[in-house]
Amino acid sequence: MSGKTILVTGAARRLGSAIARELHATGANLILHYRQASAAAAALASELNAVRPSSAACLQADLLDVETLPRLVADTVARFGRLDALVNNASSFFPTPLGTIDLASWDDLIGSNLKAPLFLTQAAAPHLIAAQGSVVTISPTFTPSARWRRIRCIARRRPDCLA
C-alpha cells in the first residue's frame, strides 16, 4: 500500500483505529475521519505521523449530512493528491430491542450503516475508478454474537461495482 491514500471513516477509536494502524503499517497515507472524537483522532494522527511524518491527517464530518460527503472526498484528494481506497467503518451502534425502536433510532442506524457508506462511495467513485481502487465496508452482522463481516469491492476485478 506504499504511497496509496486511504480514507477511513470512524478511524478515531475501536475498530477504526486498528484498521488505520494496520493500513499505515503497509505504507499508506491516511485520512482519519471522525465525527466527535477529535482528541482521539488527533492523538492517532500524531502517533502515525511520529512513525512517518505527514502520512496521516484528520477530517471531521457528520456522515449523516450527505451534503458534506463530497467535501470529505475533495479534502482527502487535496491533502494527498489522490484517493486509492475508502474504508466505510463508521457506524452508530446502540441497543435497539424490538418494540423500542423509534424513528430517530432508525434514521441514525440506517443513516450511518447504509445511507452514508452509499453516498460517500458514490462521491469517491471517480477517484477510486481512476486509481483502480477499493471500497471496503465494515458492517455488523445482525446476530447475537455481533461478529463483523467485510464486504469488499475491487474495481480491477469488478469494474461494474463502481461504474
What does the pLDDT profile of the chain (163 residues) look like in tens digits? 778 999 999 999 999 999 999 999 999 999 999 999 999 999 999 999 999 999 999 999 999 999 999 999 999 999 999 999 999 999 888 888 888 999 999 999 999 989 999 999 999 999 999 998 889 887 654 433 333 333 344 444 554 544 4
CA distance 141 to 12: 22
Query: Any bridge partners for residue 137, and if so which?
Result: 88, 151
CA distance 81 to 100: 46
- What is the predicted pLDDT for the residue at 139? 61
Measure Cα distances from 20 to 7, 58, 106 in Å: 9, 12, 28
Query: Where are the domains positioned within the chain?
Result: 5-161
In eight-state DSSP terms, residue 54 is: T
- What is the predicted pLDDT for the residue at 95? 86
Per the document, the length of the chain is 163
> What is the pTM for the complete model shown?
0.83
Which fold, 5-161? Rossmann fold (3.40.50)
Sequence-distant (6+) residues with CB within 8 A of 143 are none
- What is the predicted pLDDT for the residue at 10? 95
CA distance 108 to 88: 16
